Amino acid sequence: MELKTKVNAEDGMQDLTITREFDLPLELVFKAFTEPELIEQWMGTKVLKFEGKKFGGWQFETSDPKGNVVFKADGVIHEFTPNKRITRTFEMAGVPFGVQLEVSEFEALTDATSRLNMHVIFESGAQRDEQLKLPFKQGINWAHNRLEEIVSKLK
Amino acid sequence: MNLRRDVFQAIADPTRRAILLLVASQTLTAGAIAANFDTARPTVSKHLQILTECELLTQQQTGREIHYHINAKKMKEVADFIEPFRQMWDDRFNKLESIMKNYKPKK
């Protein structure tokens, strides 16, 4: 089966691309990327600030059910061309991955389908690889936590 | 209880990791696999079922016996650290797609 979301990260490089084809018109995909209440829904994070314009800034924050902040990221917007392109910086707080440059390009394939191409450039290849491994580590932790929860209910 | 059948779930359990190691070197029946563990046979069967659902193992019926093989292709995906990152974005984008399909613009 053809994968809908593709990630390409070549060995020894300091960038990666994320490509996705959506079963949605271009305008709706762009809207999902630029309206705070929509971003909150699909990214699962709180949007503290999102200024969709050149020189604008953005700030996301995620808390666990106990209220502890578990994820914080922010950056500035360099280009904001509706239904076409967003260029922004991305920096996660509390992790040594440096700052990234993200270029997201949106294009219509048909009236009802569209494609997103994200190009993410890191300061170094090592920082890129550390960032890539993050969901893997989290995934294992989540699986462990889930098992712990289940086991504690059995007791 | 509805657990997601994903590879993380599969490899997070020590017994399942041990099963994968066993089957990696040879094709085995459920009985032969269970013989390696102190765990009750139905528990081992449950682990085999999960590993099969995650596509880390494939079953082959030979007469009355079911043999288990390792699915090298899927194992490579797990080893490949890009895959969890890809899945994370895939989950997010699937969510985006379903939200926007139901999206009604506000007046």
ipTM: 0.84
Residue B96: which of A117, A38, A12 has the closest Cα?
A: A38
| Residues of A in Cβ contact (< 8 Å) with B3 | 146
B4 torsion bin: left (phi>0), alpha (psi -120 to 50), beta (else): beta
Read off the pLDDT band of A121 (50, 70, 90): very high
Neighbours of B59 (CB within 10 A): 12
Best A18, A42, A146, A149 residue to mutate vs chain B (most B CBs within 10 Å): A42
Neighbours of B102 (CB within 10 A): 6
Of A44, A134, A147, the CB nearest to B13: A147
Q: In terms of CATH, what superfamily is A15-123?
A: START domain (3.30.530.20)
Query: What residues contact residue A65 under an 8 Å CB cut-off, 6+ apart?
Result: none
Q: Cβ separation of A44 and B1 shorter than 8 Å?
A: no
Q: Is B79 on the interface with A (CB under 8 A)?
A: no
Q: Is A139 on the interface with B (CB under 8 A)?
A: yes
Q: Are A32 and A125 in contact (CB under 8 A)?
A: no
Pairing status of strand B28-29 against strand A99-108: unpaired
From A57's Cα to the closest Cα of chain B, the distance in A is 22
Best B78, B81, B92 residue to mutate vs chain A (most A CBs within 10 Å): B81
Q: How many CB pairs under 8 A join A and B?
A: 82
DSSP, collapsed to helix, strand or coil, labels residue B46 as helix
- Indicate if the pLDDT at residue A144 is higher than 60: no
Interface of A with B in 2-21 (CB under 8 A): 3-7, 9, 18, 20
Question: pTM score, two decimals?
Answer: 0.66
Q: Which amino acid, residue B35?
A: A
From B30's Cα to the closest Cα of chain A, the distance in A is 24
- Indicate if the pLDDT at residue A153 is higher than 70: no
3-class secondary structure per residue, A48-101: EEECCCCCCEEEEEEECCCCCEEEEEEEEEEEEECCCEEEEEEEECCCCCCEEE
The single-letter DSSP state of residue B32 is H
Of B12, B96, B97, the CB nearest to A147: B12
User: What residue segments make up the domains of chain A, in order of their start?
Assistant: 15-123, 125-155
Each residue of A96-117: pLDDT tens digit? 889 999 999 999 999 999 999 9
Neighbours of B57 (CB within 10 A): 24
| Closest residue in B to A115 (Cα–Cα) | B93
Q: Is B17 on the interface with A (CB under 8 A)?
A: no
Structural domains of chain B in order of their starting residue, each with its CATH number: 7-80 (1.10.10.10)
Compute the residue count for chain B.
107
Give the integer Cα–Cα distance in Å for A100 and A127.
10
Q: What is the pLDDT of residue A148?
A: 57
Each residue of A88-98: pLDDT tens digit? 999 998 888 89
Give the integer Cα–Cα distance in Å for A150 and B18.
21
Each residue of B9-46: pLDDT tens digit? 677 677 888 888 888 878 899 999 999 888 888 999 99
Q: Are B90 and B98 in contact (CB under 8 A)?
A: no
DSSP-assigned beta bridge partners for residue B67: B29, B60
